[in-house]
Amino acid sequence: MASPTANSLPSNTGQDPTQNKGKKSRAALRVASLNMNGGNLTSSFHKWANIQSIVRTSSLSILALQETHISEQDQLVIESHFQKLKLFVNPDGDSSSNRNGVAFVVNIDKVRWDEASHTVIEPG
């Protein structure tokens, strides 16, 4: 097997690219899905405590949630109370009834969440 060429090494560092610093990641992710049937903070704070427990006890990396009904403001409150969870939220901004809404819960102990990105393809 040929050794890496100068073009295949990262140009901005002089480090060995095979050495990984920081959080170790695995090649496999544990992913699950759950329908919350409403997950806004005013009526379902207990559901978020249950979600944190499910993520931790099941060793989940990512939990996809449907019908979350949460806003971006709710996201900040949830993340401040449940500090092991990072949320990527896609609320239905056009809905007056706060219907729909999906979110991804990322377990920060299992995933490099700071390297993740979120792109909305279809709102709500």
DSSP character string of 87-117: EEEE--TT-TT----EEEEEETTTS-GGG--
Domain-embedded: residue 1: no
Number of structural domains the chain divides into: 1
Enumerate residues 6+ apart whose C-beta is below 8 A from 6.
none
CATH number at residue 49: 3.60.10.10
Question: Is residue 75 a part of any domain in this protein?
Answer: yes
The boundaries of the domain holding residue 60 are 27-113
Q: Give the span between the Cα atoms of 57 and 55, in whole angstroms.
A: 6
Give the pLDDT of the chain (124 residues) as one tens digit per residue: 444 444 444 445 555 555 555 666 556 889 999 998 877 777 788 899 999 999 999 999 999 999 888 888 888 999 999 999 999 988 766 654 556 788 899 999 988 888 888 887 777 6
19 in a structural domain: no
- Whether this prediction's pTM lies above 0.95 is answered by no
Give pLDDT, residue 6: 45
Confidence at residue 8, expressed as pLDDT on a 0 to 100 scale:
47
